[in-house]
Structure 1
């Protein structure tokens, strides 16, 4: 779905941080999230989780390319949230209470896909279950939901940082 000059929130947890007024062109190169999934983790449990997420992302990208090529790629897109409630939910789910987290209000112009990530959880799955379950749920994820039902937006296009709103969530 194409959007123009719409406001969303973005949870940023990786340095270098974006500054107010910065503009970014999203969707042409792999995201930091996807790049980091290729870095082995020295702790076995975290390494298993990393491998599960990497497998999930590769399956979802395969299904997207085959059936939904017009949608933004999870490998290259930017995750945004449509409102403050979803931001609070994500901060809790991700365990983000770090002073390193920044929450930015961003203005977006480009393509957005509204989804509910409940279809693609891998935390409680065994490695041998991921292919079957994620393939089965990938269609639900890529068919999407309305903005009001979404807990995440996947975006590709032009991003402008409007305001640092981190203080509203501390």
Structure 2
């Protein structure tokens, strides 16, 4: 973790239905006093299967049981006549739900380790993600994030730099995530410097909006890149 003053970083901001998308050159604000859009995503988004006509939502695990009954016995319950009963779609629903809650477990464990052992570091739940003002870093994150708006920021506060490879999704237990969290907060290097991500808390000034031509303009991004606050963050 470092304390920086009036240093320039980049930020790729994407619009995805959470938070604000109205930065202007000259804006000044502080980041770090409340949860960011990334963590609010876990607070606000429910994973469910919806019967829109009846206005009823069902737990994904319950619907998976209904789907398993159908696959084993060919039975379709009347209450679930709205459901598609498509095996591939069901797997996609389960995969999306699994990824969502594995990420939540990861974030809770990373925050537990940070608050207990690295309390001075900026929090992944409250900070903003920024990119070092280098061509290599920008090229890497352009490929990862796709469309958006690119801003140059002036930052004064505390910043943590770590390699995102310690964040890769895995269904191992809490001890696994605890170990990865220590690697992450200790700023242990990964295999690629370009994959370094930076979390910042402090004063932000929007200096400039830059021309932005992503390498993958049609990239939709994962749930994580859609929600992560490096891609869309306003005053927090």
TM over 0.5, yes or no? Answer: yes
Structure 1 unmatched ranges of 5 or more: none
Within the alignment, does 1:25 sit opposite 2:26 as a pair? no
- 1:2 is aligned to 3
TM-score by length of 1: 0.85
Q: Using the alignment, how far apart are the partners of 2:130 and 2:197 within structure 1?
A: 6
CA root-mean-square deviation? 2.1
* Offset of residue 46 of structure 1: 2.1
The 10-residue stretch of structure 1 (158-167 or 23-32) with the greater mean CA deviation from structure 2: 158-167
- 1:133 is aligned to 176
| Residue aligned with 1:7, SS | strand
Deviations 1:46-77 (A, max 9, x none): 22211111111110000001100000011000
| Residue aligned with 1:49, SS | helix
- What does 1:13-92 correspond to in 2, within 5 Å? 13-14=14-15, 15-38=20-43, 39-42=45-48, 43-82=93-132, 83-92=134-143
Larger radius of gyration: 2
Number of residue pairs aligned between Structure 1 and Structure 2: 161
Q: Using the alignment, how far apart are the partners of 1:91 and 1:67 within structure 2?
A: 33
Q: Using the alignment, how far apart are the partners of 2:146 and 2:8 within structure 1?
A: 23
Runs in 1 of length 4+ with deviation above 4 angstroms?
A: none
Retained in 2: the 8 A contact 1:52–1:130?
Answer: no
Q: Using the alignment, how far apart are the partners of 2:99 and 2:135 within structure 1?
A: 28
